[in-house]
Amino acid sequence: MGNKGGDTHANSKVNSNSNKNLSLPTGEATQINNGVQNNNIPANTGFQAAPAGAPFPEYRRRGMNGVLKFIIFILITGVFCYAAYNLVVSRMEPIEPEPEVPVNVRVAAAAYNDISLDSVITGRIEAVDEVSVLPKMAGAVTNVYVELGSRVSAGTILFSLDSTQLAVNLNQAKTSLDSASVIYERMGRLLDEGVIPLQNYEQAQVSYVLAYETYAAAQDAYNNAVVTSPISGYVTSVNVSSGTLATQAVPAVTIANIDRLVINAGLSEKMINKVALGDTVNVLVKSASEESVQGRITAISPAPVTGSLTYPIKISLENSDSRIKPGMFAEVMLAVDTSSGVLTIPSKAVMIKSGRRVVAALDADNRVRLVDVVIGIDDGAFVEIKEGLNIGDIVVTDGQTYIDESSAVNIVE
């Protein structure tokens, strides 16, 4: 009995402490009490429902108050910003779209022209007339009358050789000729008078002929001591000087006439039948001028050079101003494909857009319309238009990269 009373007192003390330290909110305590009543929770767990009207925990009340204040702050800020935006918008002037600014372009009109496709061949320029002057006999040079680059005419004295001995030989030959001439004339008179036989006259005649030939040879030798130019042109080399020995082994002077020049070139088998004798060609010599000059085909070989696949041709050209010099490099433009009276526009007007060839054509209001075209021969400056344009159509040649369909343009010169 004593123990039973002690246990009861102990349980009361435990329950009192449990109720003091484990007080729960009303809802949670209700659930626990319900569980106890339903035998789901043991009765001696120590949990006990809080009495009705017990105060809400402080930390939860403060958290809910903070969230509520934050929501109110966000709402007030949003309302203020919206009002400010509406005020600013209401005071702003309406923005008008900027007017379209026309693009400055250059244009050209489609027109009928002749057009050709050129193929370029190259070659070295040579003088048509070029001679190497050799003395007809060896001799010491006494005087040289020309220098490198001198302009000479046919017959101009170039240099002279020592003619002292030649003059002596000429005088002796002249004396012998005079003597033979006197004897020959006397024998002729005596023959006419019948004083001498015909044989004596014939001997005198032979002596006279031999004396004349000797004199003529001496005269030629004397004349050959003065060397003259056989052609007109420019002196391109001088290999003698006063006091040196001129021989026939080395050219003493070289002269070239550059008024007429020739280009030696070769054509492939694909081009040989596209040219003919007398055809006019354009020749560009960049080292002399940026402008081309006219040339003419003067010779075409019917067979290729041995060991080669090219057919030799010659192209002559006039060079009256002497700008072009022998030895310069020349480019010859041969027309291998030609069309006459076809519709053309400048080549730079044609553009490639999305794989299509188009041109920017203008309508009556100077608005752009992109037109697909079919081209033919293009010589680099003009292009043949087979389809897409008509005579007189205006196309943009400069500035077309800055425009598009329906763009406004301003035409400038």
Range of 385's domain? 104-115+340-411
C-alpha distances (whole Å) from 236 to each of 158, 227, 263, 272, 290 are: 13, 16, 19, 35, 25
By C-alpha distance, which of 219, 244, 242, 217 is closest to 167? 219
Q: Is residue 338 very low, low, confident or very high in pLDDT (cuts 50, 70, 90)?
A: confident
How many domains would you assign to the chain? 4
Q: Both 262 and 348 in a single domain?
A: no
Indicate whether 244 pLDDT > 90: yes
Q: Is residue 220 part of a domain?
A: yes
95-115 pLDDT, tens per residue?
Answer: 566 677 888 999 999 999 999
For residues 219-235, average pLDDT: 94
Mean pLDDT, residues 182-200 = 90
Beta bridge partners of 122: 331
333 and 269 share one domain: yes
Assign 395 a pLDDT band (cuts: 50, 70, 90): very high
Shared domain for 226 and 275, answered yes or no, is no
- 348 and 329 in a single domain? The answer is no
Give the DSSP letter string of 267-292. E-TTTGGG--TT-EEEEE-TTT-SS-
Do 344 and 333 lie in a common domain?
no
User: Is residue 42 a part of any domain in this protein?
Assistant: yes
Q: Is the pLDDT of residue 160 over 60?
A: yes
Q: Is residue 81, in this structure, part of any structural domain at all?
A: no
Domain assignment of residue 84, yes or no: no
Domain boundary among 215, 246, 277: 246
Q: Is the pLDDT of residue 175 over 90?
A: yes
- Judged by average pLDDT, the poorest of 31-35, 72-76, 262-266 is 31-35
CATH of the domain at 109: 2.40.420.20
Residue at 235 is within a domain: yes
Q: Is residue 217 part of a domain?
A: yes
- Asked if 131 and 232 touch (Cβ cutoff 8 Å), the reply is no
Q: What is the pLDDT of residue 68?
A: 76
Q: Does 70 fall in a domain?
A: no
